[in-house]
Structure 1
Amino acid sequence: MSAGGFSAAAPEAALAALCVPFDTGVLRLPTDGQALFLRARAGVQLRELAQPGWLCEQSFLPFADELARCSLRVGEPAEGEIFPLVLLLPPRQRDEARALFARALDHLAPGGTLVASMAKAEGAKSGEADLTKLVGAVGNLSKHHCRVFWSTPEPHAVDRLLQDEWRALDAPRETADGWWSRPGLFAWDRVDRASALLAAHFPGDLHGRVADLGAGYGYLATQLIARCPRITALDLYEAEARALEPARRNVTNALRMAGRELPVNVHGHDVTRGLPRRYDAIVSNPPFHLGRADLPELGRAFITSAADALVESGRLLIVANRHLPYEALLAARFADVRQLALQDGFKVIEARSLRA
């Protein structure tokens, strides 16, 4: 991620491995310069390989912005649009990856080639097995602790029933606990313990316009609706586009269950770029890692954006892993910082009274 005073490294190993079949001549780039790159990430290797006709799809807004800053074309393929080459960086979550394989085939031209790259520690073996199950035999190679696998599938070899089944895996679904979500979102099939702890400490006197930063599928927002009757408007901010529809469904259900009419808006937005308006209160379970790497700068960027967007008497309530060093920044921005809870390795902090 970039923009908010910090940066997240692209998966350079996976990108480098993805380029190897082309660098060694095992595969060739299309002569017409057209390709689709699903879950694309910016990086030196991509800038060297990509051609002007490539379309890069990325649902996470900060990563999409990185691609655009590299002068790459970013967007979604039109329904029925096909390409002679489809590249992808499948995610670790298996249902999400299977849905991505199915979509990749939707946009693969007859005689075209699909190429995927995954780190071995991130499920490469399972990913290759799944693609083989879907399209038949695949080629492969290992490099940079990653596995690259590809196929130029014959139409008769593709399991179309399985493709339909896997394509549906990415649709918003209701979890066992009754939340709308989809595979691959943070804590997609459960209520995150940290978020539950924060919600349990929402003050009943929260009032006015409130924002939830990094809203995910909307759990915290539903708890604000249920627990805080003096809220007059609610905005959810989330950078992952795939989370927006589940969040809308969950807050709609929460309003119905509470018997409330409340202006609620769900925004696809990178919080680290700042917020467009002022708030009486802000709540957040800020992300602090990308992949498996801790990135406390991300949480600090959320705190900075929140402090910048609060009215003078506003309140910030956050939850974080107990080891994360947020207190110094909070003390620099707020005169009153209190720890409301310390439980199961998490801390809930309330900050009030903005410093001039």
Structure 2
Amino acid sequence: MALTPASELIMRNQAELSGRVLFAHIPDDGSLSQLGQLESPIVLTDDWRSFSSMQHQPKLEPLFQSQVPDIPPVDKIVLFMPKAKEQARYLIAQLLPLLKEGAEFWLVGENNGGIKSADKLLLPFTDKVQKKDKAKKSTLLSMIPVVDKIQAFELEQWQQYWSLDTGLSAEAGASSESALELVSLPGVFSHGRLDEGSELLLQHLPKVRASVGFIPKALDMGCGCGVIGLSLLKQQPELALTACDVSVMAVEATKLSLAHNQLEGEVIASDMWSEVEGRYDLVISNPPFHTGLKTDYVPTEQFIRQAKKHLNRGGELRIVANRFLKYPDLIEQVFGNCERIAETGKFCIWSARVQI
């Protein structure tokens, strides 16, 4: 696998990496295996795919957590610029207290990914941000934090609450029985708001009927903060809900949303179907078509191809997607049927059922 431009920049400066180093948000491009001089680097990732891969690499200490646990201070921190600047702020705030006094903090990223203006993210914590290196449209920033400018990290300060009614609108703190208050975290899709695709899907939630036994089972694939799954639970409290996402931030946000609304459901980290077991009466999703900064249809196409074997007889796959995406032909190919439930100028809801 080819190294990303940002990883190549780290390779050019690897002579300055020594001691106990913590990497965060690093791409799964094999760059860590080329840093042979490091002993047991700590790697914080929010991506289940990366974590699963790193578990099989010797000398690594991979962490798949929304917050780094208490660890001894490290000699250097290398943060790869996330797509969302709010997530960058979140990571910087939680990582800085882990750095030894006088040690260096690196922030690296591609120029089209927000690194050009990222010095503003670091300036509140230091007297000077240095542009350490640049190449292949990527930049490496460096700073030595000032201890007095670093505050203890509190996860609660980064939780964002937003309200939703099963009628799609609720004021914060509304007492309506149908009101939901979602909890979101930086890095979660559509952080702190309802996106247009999910809004359309919520207007057309199906009644889930049990194919086996008496309790209907539903899977919210790519759950984000849990808005679709929790809305299903509000509509059908008897539902057995499983929610999954590849992002640890989404997994944590959905758990927080369930607890905050006193609802119950299983939440798991999974790369699409990798950790999903059993069959369901409904699989529902607002699937992504981006991997990082790049458009990528492959994950959703794989999701559709494998969905049928995770559904009971009579079970339904229901997704919302941009109109320009050519999923209906694939759904028809896999299920032998595909129905358009609703559409707007931008989105469509597609449904297919496993034949009885």
TM-score scaled by structure 2? 0.83
Aligned residue for 1:144?
A: 136
Aligned residue for 1:259?
A: none
Change (3 A) 1:241 1:112: same
Aligned residue for 1:37?
A: 23
Q: Secondary structure, in 3 states, of the residue corresponding to 2:62?
A: coil
Q: Secondary structure, in 3 states, of the residue corresponding to 1:130?
A: helix
The CA deviation string for residues 48-78 of structure 1, in whole angstroms up to 9 with x for no partner, is 2253321111021012223335544312654
Whole-angstrom CA distance in 1 between matches of 2:277 and 2:349 = 26
The range that moved more, 193-202 or 69-78, is 69-78
Contact kept? 2:308, 2:354, Cα under 8 Å: no
Whole-angstrom CA distance in 2 between matches of 1:85 and 1:21 = 13
Whole-angstrom CA distance in 2 between matches of 1:108 and 1:300 = 42
Counterparts of residues 6-155 of structure 1 (less than 5 Å): 12-22=4-14, 28-30=16-18, 32=19, 34-50=20-36, 51-71=38-58, 72-75=60-63, 78-140=69-131, 141-153=133-145, 155=147
What letter is aligned with 1:74?
Answer: P
Segments of structure 2 that go 5 or more residues without pairing to the other structure are 165-180, 211-215
Aligned residue pair count? 329
Offset of 1:99 from its aligned partner? 2.2
Whole-angstrom CA distance in 1 between matches of 2:267 and 2:41 = 30
Q: Give the one of 225, 230, 242 matched to 1:222.
A: 230
Whole-angstrom CA distance in 2 between matches of 1:47 and 1:135 = 31
Q: Secondary structure, in 3 states, of the residue corresponding to 2:34?
A: helix
Structure whose residues are more often helix by fraction: 1
The range that moved more, 39-48 or 209-218, is 39-48
Offset of 1:45 from its aligned partner? 3.5
Q: Does 1:179 align with 2:166?
A: no
Q: Secondary structure, in 3 states, of the residue corresponding to 1:125?
A: helix
Counterparts of residues 138-217 of structure 1 (less than 5 Å): 138-140=129-131, 141-153=133-145, 155=147, 158-160=148-150, 163-164=151-152, 171-175=158-162, 178-207=181-210, 208-217=216-225
Q: Does 1:250 align with 2:242?
A: no
Offset of 1:274 from its aligned partner? 5.6
Contact kept? 1:80, 1:106, Cα under 8 Å: no
Aligned residue for 2:241?
A: 234
Aligned residue for 1:4?
A: none
The CA deviation string for residues 85-108 of structure 1, in whole angstroms up to 9 with x for no partner, is 111113232232122122222111
Q: Secondary structure, in 3 states, of the residue corresponding to 1:204?
A: coil
The CA deviation string for residues 211-249 of structure 1, in whole angstroms up to 9 with x for no partner, is 1111110000122123346x5311111221112232123
Q: Secondary structure, in 3 states, of the residue corresponding to 1:350?
A: strand
The CA deviation string for residues 301-347 of structure 1, in whole angstroms up to 9 with x for no partner, is 22233222111221111111112222233122213311111213111
The CA deviation string for residues 241-264 of structure 1, in whole angstroms up to 9 with x for no partner, is 1122321232345566xxxxxx52
What letter is aligned with 1:189?
Answer: G
Change (3 A) 1:91 1:176: farther
Whole-angstrom CA distance in 2 between matches of 1:184 and 1:332 = 34
Whole-angstrom CA distance in 2 between matches of 1:195 and 1:131 = 34
Q: Does 1:338 align with 2:339?
A: yes
Whole-angstrom CA distance in 2 between matches of 1:253 and 1:133 = 32
Contact kept? 2:241, 2:266, Cα under 8 Å: yes
Q: Does 1:281 align with 2:270?
A: no
Aligned residue for 2:301?
A: 300
Whole-angstrom CA distance in 2 between matches of 1:108 and 1:354 = 57
Whole-angstrom CA distance in 1 between matches of 2:297 and 2:157 = 30
Question: What is the Cα-based RMSD across aligned positions, in Å?
Answer: 2.6
Q: Secondary structure, in 3 states, of the residue corresponding to 2:337?
A: strand
Offset of 1:124 from its aligned partner? 1.3
Whole-angstrom CA distance in 2 between matches of 1:251 and 1:213 = 16
TM-score scaled by structure 1? 0.83
What letter is aligned with 2:226?
Answer: G
